[in-house]
Structure 1
């Protein structure tokens, strides 16, 4: 027995030692891809020595003698820290994810091939000006220089992910950077989904109810659109929810996850210190690492500092010594779906205003890991690429004998958005920056600007020229063979909304309506915000003059105007509950919840239970209001819409009809539905967070879901790569934290301000910024999430152009020395 015990002990000891050795070897291999920030490299592709000084927050400050050398170093730094992320963005744009992820990404690849995003990016290289071409080429050389070093020195394949997936990395090309910029348009444009959804809803609801569930901005009425079924009589009404890409790697997001942002500026007359102020926080999907990467470039025109996207040689959000710029989504309607009639005698032709014409057709091969490749037939019409019915639920709105195509501003081979961004970085004044925006194509943005003397907001991006007689005004798919439904080019830049040095001295945008113009000059019918703007207006009006701190306070504000306005309306007949109900009963919990909400000021604070009660109530209220009328289509409206709910409870145009449950004999009032929904919410909350209502915390449910798109789904690994943080804010607060709205954890914070910046031109080097994770994309780096906790607490880091400050306590200085020419 003793001998057996000894052998078991020896075996166990050996297994433990073997496990430790394996873990140690694995750790050694993984850490090989951590870059040495203090290394010196002799390298080709630059004309003079370059320094990459990483300050104590790991933000690279790049100093070189020429702009191409600086862009080379930016490419080098991006590749050092975010090589996996860059290659994934490129693969997404190319439609080549399935080569390493298999069949699950095949639909995404197919759609990207049909849109031909990468092919159009390749064509767009020639459209850039000479300086931009030089920057793109230098940047690509910098990326490739790091890739070559990784291969030559066996530096852990460049990133840990390459040990699990293919480590074949193609050389970086100028077109790759343009493709990633175009990919942002894919992620942010939602007009196509809106058109299809409006068409589907119009087939099952009367026009008044369509206006309820898909409300226009309440500040302006809109004439009724035709019933979609009347445009295509042979189309059968359908509830069917068809195949939609649902993968973290897919750029095609749900319609309510389109781009959003905040930006505001104050002129010197409204600034306490006498210099212009600008604040900006763009809202995108949370990921680990963040899509944003902070950097400073010392260009010939001067230093610029701000947020870049790995793979793109631009400071997209930031400032120079004399100019600051920020972006918000303009919500321009930049897409139109067309129903194309196919020739019944020749399926290779479609109908145009001039008769039958052949589709432009070619084939594309999608290679799929562990499966046979598939060949996709790509077809284009004069209106744009043909999309299959299996995408965007298009089959449900496409009649027999027809296909759907899409017109989209991003689908052009002469896209000069990169040149526009390059000129913006080098602008010295608001007026120069506005002129730089003239060349921007897509995705359309509101460009918020501030220099030392003034402020401006200019919409950039091409506006489609639509016919005033367009049958659906671009709000639903239209017959593509009719001339009045087609685009006739683009409107001049002068038609884009522009606001320069307003008399009030304050400019702001929260994706709210910016102009009130009739179609077809209206920009869009579907603005992104009707709520945050109300809170912003109050904060701006509360002060005669503003400071950097007051702008930060507004950026971090968590008071929900929506909660303050909806709760008195919804609960007006519920506040008084009569005598206290017996403890432990649903009525007693309801009474307690209503008492807490009555005393609540609408602050969506992570430490409070009231925001969780409110959010759960609104979620269940939306579900009860729409489930009977919409059936399976209700899944597309899971997120509570405050304008819809307000219309219902104010009975706008008879909207209270939504409160009656169609399938029941009794007639339910809105008060009945409000009470039942609150009981539903409290039951759900007690099941998930316990019965002690005072112990509930909004932050426990509203965690920022900053997950690694690939490793974040793998058991065990996900605990090391995903970043979860308790957060304040909500769907409609200025510190926006958009909830998931579906699934077992509907209140996860999945979309918000991955970047925040506040610039003060009274003292430019006192400006501040932050991103939501860290600069490094390497999970074993201490800079993978080091900025995340500061971000969660509402803190910032200095945004200085002072070289001495960058060098003070720097985590490393990388020196690049040009290699001697061959033959010397």
Structure 2
């Protein structure tokens, strides 16, 4: 393993800058001291926002720099991730994460990572090995930043962590399938009876793939941009804090790897990326790659299950988990984990065991797909990398410099036999229900280069990513066209309209669409509310108005004059959001969006009742009804706040493209997002790529860093910053430079 030691070269206001330091800094800026051709060093230039831009001649030294930089910015998150995949979080954080460790052991992330390691691309293994060396080097000199002593990290922890993320959605869907059978007593229900007639419950009451999804993406072909180059939006709606926070960095390894974007902490490669040849992003909502199998367990032996009338032995393992105690000591806990031929055994919320089956369960090479996407030099190679089909429940959107744009609903979907309801538990005691293999990549929903000139996936189904598509779920194998199918998505409808209308699009147009705060549900419901109030006023024309009536009238007036944008200054947006919160407490359909809503007398009565309640609650919290939305929706980092526009999905949120989700008030009656649009980026594939981006807070999670919240004002004001790609573009913006050299 290579070992590299960091050398600080220059930093504004730093004691390292003397006369020789100034000379060295100048030489670096001029490119005189570039990384050696032998790959013995990596140079890290941090720009004015603290984002690392890394140049190196070898994958090992580049990985080292990434690992060291991630630790500088977010050490606790790095260690959390690297311990999570191998099921060792309890060593760091105590018994509260014992269940998470047990599940990681049950899913065998470490075992499959160890098996996958020898077959990963050699350069990728170098990148990962160097990454771990960089993390370990930082730990050696910064042990006081962690609450406990930690062991050196190993490459298998990186691979296991990435596998755990790729399996996260599959595990969640298997659990949803199981819970969807609760009303049936957690027993399978036949799709058809023996006489051929429909079974008792042919469909689940709630499609498990339609849990509220988050993230926006779209791609424009060169025919719709002013430059003639494709344009792509990277806009995941992820946590802006904690171990799932995305990490921005830009990586240049000789002529082989030139990629930038956003990676998961604990990994050395962007997952949402830009190269000179392609750019890509993902949203939630792919193909269904997992299922829940009901089990018949031997009453005389809990380690046996029935299959085709015979008892079969489960795979039984005893896992020993080290747990940190409150007094700093450690104790060892043992947990028994079980597995059948279907997959690992999990339990429902009520404690009923079931086997979770997953397509590609024994794989741990998803990082290899991202690496091959990042090193592809043309559309053919990029599409070949995508066709590896190692990704999870995602909508993958991409564009290439050769002019192609494309979409695929990914997921390692299995070939399921007919005759079972795959949205609930299926019988695990017959081999008739076992998977028949894996669906070929070409049989997933794929759309390329549509005549409309654009694609969008704002958590919509694959058959509505652009107008004019005619395929349905019946054109695919069971549960392949899956995520968000037949569901109304306000953001998707709004994106389709804006992308249809735009011509000769510029990066500024991309920014405008990305931060669009229009509220499509208002088009559905405000007319209903106004009609309900007009009917109410006619009935109560001669009555005496109470103060509550006056507050209701104010709310109606604000809605009636509202332009239906959830801007920071909008008072109508505040009324509508509180109305939606009130609707969320009702059992009727009022406030719940559909392609076509029912405007009946009963719905109108409920709508007015919810508005009256909303007006009272606004007045109780703020002392008036006319309250600016930015006084309610706030962004907070440390002890500083900024007003925000937009909203999210939770509790009948306004579902704007400008995604700032929060549905729980703090003690100051404010809604504070902890995620949503976190790394909004518009990419134009010119030569070199043009990139405009902003993160929610800043590069660093350390409160004493100047980059703890320096991008927050840009984010709050819906602005993007220019991100340099070449060293020449970067030079005027370099804040600090550091060289990592090989110790010989």
Pair 93,685 (structure 1): closer, same or farther in 2 beyond 3 Å: farther
Query: 1:481-560 alignment to 2 at 5 Å?
Result: 481-515=429-463, 516-518=472-474, 519-520=477-478, 522-524=480-482, 526-527=484-485, 530-560=489-519
1:51 and 2:43 matched:
yes
Distance 1:777 1:553 in 2: 28
The alignment's TM-score, normalised by the length of structure 2, stands at: 0.83
For 1:314, which of 255, 269, 276 is the aligned residue?
A: 269
1:199 and 2:181 matched:
yes
Using the TM superposition, name which of 89-98 and 268-277 deviates more: 89-98
For 2:287, which of 332, 336, 339 is the aligned residue?
A: 332
Distance 1:367 1:577 in 2: 65
Distance 2:526 2:684 in 1: 38
1:574 alignment counterpart? 533
2:338 alignment counterpart? 379
Pair 734,500 (structure 1): closer, same or farther in 2 beyond 3 Å: same
Distance 1:186 1:35 in 2: 44
Distance 1:225 1:776 in 2: 56
| 8 Å contact kept, 1:257–1:751 | no
| 8 Å contact kept, 1:137–1:174 | yes
Using the TM superposition, name which of 415-424 and 503-512 deviates more: 503-512
User: How many residue pairs were aligned?
Assistant: 676
Distance 2:198 2:490 in 1: 24
For 1:614, which of 573, 576, 589 is the aligned residue?
A: 576
1:292 and 2:246 matched:
yes
Q: CA deviation at 1:380?
A: 0.7
Distance 2:509 2:198 in 1: 43
Structure having the larger proportion of residues in helix: 1
Q: Secondary structure at the match of 2:302?
A: strand
Pair 726,109 (structure 1): closer, same or farther in 2 beyond 3 Å: farther
| 8 Å contact kept, 1:283–1:752 | yes
Distance 1:781 1:625 in 2: 48
Pair 778,257 (structure 1): closer, same or farther in 2 beyond 3 Å: farther
The alignment's TM-score, normalised by the length of structure 1, stands at: 0.75
1:596 and 2:552 matched:
no
Distance 2:248 2:211 in 1: 24
Q: Secondary structure at the match of 2:738?
A: strand
| 8 Å contact kept, 2:288–2:411 | no
1:671 and 2:604 matched:
yes
| 8 Å contact kept, 1:127–1:415 | no
Distance 1:789 1:183 in 2: 34
Q: CA deviation at 1:512?
A: 0.6
Q: CA deviation at 1:429?
A: 2.6
**Unmatched segments (≥5 aa) in structure 1:** 1-33, 208-222, 232-253, 628-638, 652-667, 707-718
1:362 and 2:286 matched:
no
Pair 623,584 (structure 1): closer, same or farther in 2 beyond 3 Å: same
C-alpha distance after superposition, 1:652-710 (max 9, x if no partner) = xxxxxxxxxxxxxxxx93333222222222222222222x111x23233323467xxxx
Query: 1:106-255 alignment to 2 at 5 Å?
Result: 106-148=98-140, 150=141, 155=142, 157=143, 159=145, 162=146, 165-166=147-148, 168-185=149-166, 188=169, 190-200=172-182, 226-227=200-201
| 8 Å contact kept, 2:397–2:408 | yes
Pair 450,158 (structure 1): closer, same or farther in 2 beyond 3 Å: farther
Q: Secondary structure at the match of 1:773?
A: coil
1:818 and 2:735 matched:
no
Q: Secondary structure at the match of 1:404?
A: strand
**Unmatched segments (≥5 aa) in structure 2:** 1-12, 25-34, 190-196, 464-471, 649-654
For 1:727, which of 644, 652, 656 is the aligned residue?
A: 644
Distance 2:491 2:530 in 1: 22
Pair 188,461 (structure 1): closer, same or farther in 2 beyond 3 Å: closer
Pair 489,747 (structure 1): closer, same or farther in 2 beyond 3 Å: farther
C-alpha distance after superposition, 1:411-457 (max 9, x if no partner) = 42x32211100011111233321211122423232222222222222
Query: 1:652-663 alignment to 2 at 5 Å?
Result: none
Q: Secondary structure at the match of 1:94?
A: coil
| 8 Å contact kept, 1:328–1:509 | yes
Q: CA RMSD in A?
A: 3.4
Q: CA deviation at 1:510?
A: 1.0
Q: Secondary structure at the match of 1:511?
A: coil
Q: Secondary structure at the match of 1:625?
A: coil
